[in-house]
């Protein structure tokens, strides 16, 4: 069955304004191309046929650049925050409702400011024939203080999200999620505005959330230091 994707690209990018002030964060220049283009090429490489880009601040900038996706080899549609910011969960819920696909189709959700190497098969296997409702991509980093840690048991189930204020290594949320369309509709609240990370994921801990560890490159361009690192780490992606 086809895998559809949603990219959450509506962030204000406040922390990045010192180095990227003229465009939305997901369109930050990396290697001479918008960062979002890298994510689209990655999806195309995984044979994902269609993506919905959930936009907010600078949405017209993104629409103008990518249009229908015809020039990028992938079908692109858009969902907008509208005049009121809906949060990562609210705009995701709106995007899923706009997708007229089979309720059993898997939907992959990506953060628009994060690059992570991943394979689709482990995500699809994680939500197939198990009691896990949603698969969460995690990566191991040397310092979890910036992100908070994800604690996983021997069976691969997420058992806790922990705030970490000291520099210790561990697993973190990589900003990559997968579930069937019907499952997304079940786990997302009916309220208009909410956070996926704060209001949804913690409620699934203890059996409904499985971790898929991604072992390749991971970088979040949300702060200037890591945005500058991305210029080196991702310079050969074209």
The dihedral built from the CA positions of residue 57, 59, 61 and 65, taken in this order, carries a sign that is: positive
| pLDDT exceeds cutoff 60 at 18 | no
Return the domain boundaries, the chain: 4-233
Confidence grade of residue 226 (pLDDT, cut at 50, 70, 90): confident
Per-residue pLDDT tens digits for 22-70:
678 888 888 888 999 999 999 999 999 999 999 987 789 899 999 999 9
Give Cα separations from 205 to 4, 59, 125, 166, 173 (angstroms).
Answer: 25, 33, 19, 23, 13
Question: For residues 96 and 177, is the Cβ–Cβ distance under 8 A?
Answer: no
Residue range 187-199: mean pLDDT, rounded: 90
* pLDDT-derived band at 83, boundaries 50, 70, 90: low
Rounded alpha-carbon distances, angstroms, from residue 131 to 127, 189, 209: 8, 20, 9
Instruction: Give the Å distances, CA to CA, from 5 to 16, 19, 86, 94, 212.
Output: 25, 29, 19, 14, 17
> Quick check: 161 pLDDT over 60?
yes
| Mean pLDDT score, 166-189 | 91
Distance CA 57, CA 81 (A): 8
- 120 and 46 in contact (C-beta within 8 Å)? yes
Query: Which H helix or E strand runs over 135?
Result: strand 134-141
Residue 120 scores a pLDDT above 90? yes
Please say if the pLDDT value at position 237 is more than 70: no
Average pLDDT, the chain: 87
Q: Model-level pTM greater than 0.85?
A: yes
Q: What is the CATH code of the structural domain delimited by 4-233?
A: 3.90.550.10
* Cα 129 to Cα 132: distance, rounded to the nearest angstrom: 9
CA distance 181 to 126: 15
Give the largest CA-CA distance in the chain: 47
Cα-based angle 68, 72, 77 (whole degrees, multiple of 5): 30
* DSSP annotation of 27: G
């Amino acid at each position: 069955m086809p895998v559809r994707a949603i990219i959450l690209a509506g962030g204000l990018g406040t922390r990045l304004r010192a180095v990227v002030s003229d465009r939305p964060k997901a369109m930050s220049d990396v290697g001479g191309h918008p960062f979002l283009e890298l994510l689209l090429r990655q999806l195309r490489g995984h044979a994902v046929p269609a993506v919905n880009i959930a936009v907010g601040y600078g949405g017209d900038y993104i629409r103008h650049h990518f249009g229908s996706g015809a020039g990028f080899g992938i079908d692109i549609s858009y969902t907008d925050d509208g005049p009121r910011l809906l949060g990562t969960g609210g705009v995701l819920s709106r995007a899923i409702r706009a997708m007229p696909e089979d309720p059993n189709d898997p939907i992959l959700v990506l953060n628009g400011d994060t690059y992570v190497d991943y394979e689709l098969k482990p995500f699809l296997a994680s939500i197939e024939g198990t009691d896990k409702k949603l698969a969460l991509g995690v990566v191991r980093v040397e310092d979890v203080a910036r992100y908070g840690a994800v604690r996983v048991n021997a069976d691969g189930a997420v058992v806790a999200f922990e705030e970490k204020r000291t520099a210790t290594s561990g697993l973190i949320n990589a900003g990559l999620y997968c579930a069937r369309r019907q499952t997304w509709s079940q786990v997302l609240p009916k309220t208009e505005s909410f956070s996926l990370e704060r209001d949804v994921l913690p409620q699934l801990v203890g059996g409904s959330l499985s971790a898929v560890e991604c072992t390749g490159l991971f970088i979040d361009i949300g702060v200037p230091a890591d945005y500058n690192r991305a210029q080196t780490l991702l310079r050969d992606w074209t």
